[in-house]
Amino acid sequence: MSQTGSIFVLSAPSGAGKSTLAKRLVAEMPGLIFSTSFTTRAPRPGEQHGREYFFVDNTAFDQMVAEDGLLEWVQVYANRYGTGKAWLREQVAQGLDVLLDIETVGAMNVKAALPEAVMIFLLPPSAEVLAKRLRGRGDTDESQIMLRMAHARHEVEQYSHYDHLVVNDDLEVAYRTLESVVVAERSRKSRMESAAQRILQTFNS
């Protein structure tokens, strides 16, 4: 019987390096996949239905909410985002570990619904470095940066609700730390029980 997978929740203020690290983690760790959320926002150029998101209209989203089909959902400005219960259940039932890249409000709701979810918060080394990274990325104007920095403060205040805090100062160190969290989780007794039983059986005379 295959073991069920684990759920990892990764949150960070915008610009902390979450996409950089999460993409590498999923690319380099077999058996770890990204959660594909449902959203009512329009796809950006290059985004594909079922890859970045399941893009749905408001009626379909309303229906999922009414049917209690979402583990959590939030409204960000005009758009809604949510994690599908059935989708997530299918992945973990296959033994896959799933990484949820979601903001802090949704993350807290996941923790409330699934206390076993592994909560990871990525911190920038300082506000100054965060602002520099936002500017360096070159995708926002100065007023946007001020808005993001104000929002970042609120996000960083949530750190105490997470199980693991990873500071993204040196990228390689941050990556190795994140990777270790996943590796350590996989060695939990609950995940290793059937393997241990198989090993035990080899001792039968």
Site for ligand 5GP in 75-114 (CB under 6 A): 76, 81-83, 101-103, 106
- Give the amino acid at 69: G
Which alpha helices (H) appear in the chain, and where do they start and end? Answer: 18-28, 58-66, 85-93, 104-113, 127-137, 142-156, 171-186, 189-201
Strand 79-84 with 32-34, pairing: unpaired
Nearest distance in Å: CB 172, ligand ADP: 8
What are the phi and psi torsion angles at 199 (to 5°)? -65, -45
Nearer to ligand ADP, 71 or 174 (CB): 174
Site for ligand ADP in 145-174 (CB under 6 A): 168, 171, 174
> 32 - beta bridge partners?
97
140 binds ligand ADP (CB under 6 A): no
Nearer to ligand 5GP, 47 or 170 (CB): 47
Q: Would you say 134 and 15 are in contact if contact means Cβ atoms under 8 Å apart? A: yes
How far, in Å, are 4, 40, 73, 133, 159 from residue 104 at the CA level? 25, 19, 11, 20, 9
Selection from ligand 5GP, ligand ADP, none that 15 binds (CB < 5 to 8 A by kind) is ligand ADP
Q: Which stretch binds ligand ADP (CB under 6 A): 14-22, 62-70, 72-80, 159-167?
A: 14-22
Nearest distance in Å: CB 119, ligand 5GP: 13
Nearest distance in Å: CB 41, ligand 5GP: 5
Residue with token string 């059937």: 194
Nearest distance in Å: CB 18, ligand ADP: 3
Q: How many CA atoms lie within 13 A of 36 on its CB side?
A: 14
Q: Which stretch binds ligand 5GP (CB under 6 A): 60-68, 71-79, 88-96, 111-119?
A: 71-79
Find the distance separating the first CA and the last CA of the chain, reported in whole Å: 24
Nearer to ligand ADP, 112 or 171 (CB): 171
Nearest distance in Å: CB 81, ligand 5GP: 3
Maximum Cα–Cα distance across the chain:
73
- Where on the chain is the footprint of ligand ADP (CB under 6 A)? 12, 14-20, 133, 136-137, 168, 171, 174
- Where on the chain is the footprint of ligand 5GP (CB under 6 A)? 37, 41, 72, 74, 76, 81-83, 101-103, 106
